[in-house]
């Protein structure tokens, strides 16, 4: 993806390894906003390894204003068996507070939609916290709809380890 200059004056580009410091700062700022700072264990080293290795687990779009990173969209590929097409899952969309309402968030997510179309994806999806009404309104304004009837499930940490050991016990 070539850098895009938006009508709002932001430049949207794919992240580079030298963006890791900004990415981690955005992750921590987002976690503070979401009241989840206690869950962040990411480090610059781990982000470099997982985002910029030979087989990256995710990608990041960076929004810049006046040469300064002001937001990001961290995403990864997924797959729909029903569509038989890849998709994109937006893990985190973050814009610094002083840039909100300036078009940066819209530039990030519409750039991601454009990337999804370029990659022949069947869908772009993400989760939003139920209490985050400003984000929910923002997404509705872009035409996004909630998936009724779906509940996200997650297994992490020791529960994930325990689940993996269940296979050993079954044999």
Domain count, the chain: 1
58 neighbors 50 (Cβ within 8 angstroms): yes
Q: Measure the CA–CA gap between 110 and 104, rounded to whole angstroms.
A: 10
Over the chain (171 residues), the average pLDDT of each successive run of 10 is 82 97 98 95 98 96 96 97 97 95 93 96 92 88 88 87 79 50
Are 122 and 85 spatial neighbours (Cβ–Cβ below 8 Å)?
yes
Query: Which CATH number belongs to the domain containing residue 25 in this structure?
Result: 3.40.630.30
Residues tagged active-site: 139
Model pLDDT, residue 49: 97
With a CB cutoff of 8 Å and minimum separation 6, the contacts of 8 are 102, 103, 104, 106, 107
What pLDDT score does 119 carry?
97
- pLDDT for the residue 168: 65
**Domain containing residue 104:** 4-170
pTM of the model: 0.90
Instruction: Quote the pLDDT of residue 169.
Output: 61
* Neighbouring residues of 17: CB distance < 8 A, sequence distance ≥ 6: 48, 52
Q: Give the pLDDT confidence score for residue 113 in this predicted structure.
A: 95
Inter-CA distances, 113 with 98, 100, 122, 143, Å:
24, 19, 11, 12
């Amino acid at each position: 993806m070539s850098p895009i200059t938006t009508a709002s004056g932001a430049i949207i580009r794919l992240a580079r390894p030298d963006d890791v410091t900004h990415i981690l700062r955005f992750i921590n700022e987002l976690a503070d906003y979401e009241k989840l700072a206690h869950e962040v264990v990411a480090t610059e080293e781990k982000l470099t390894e997982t985002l910029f290795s030979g087989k990256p687990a995710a990608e990041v779009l960076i929004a810049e204003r006046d040469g300064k990173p002001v937001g990001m969209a961290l995403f990864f590929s997924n797959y729909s068996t029903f569509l038989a097409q890849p998709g994109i899952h937006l893990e985190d969309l973050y814009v610094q507070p002083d840039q909100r309402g300036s078009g940066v968030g819209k530039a990030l997510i519409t750039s991601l939609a454009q990337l999804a179309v370029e990659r022949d994806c069947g869908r772009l999806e993400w989760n939003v916290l139920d209490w985050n009404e400003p984000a929910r309104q923002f997404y509705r304004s872009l035409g996004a709809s909630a998936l009724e009837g779906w509940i996200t499930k997650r297994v992490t940490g020791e529960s994930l380890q325990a689940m993996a050991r269940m296979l050993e016990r079954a044999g």
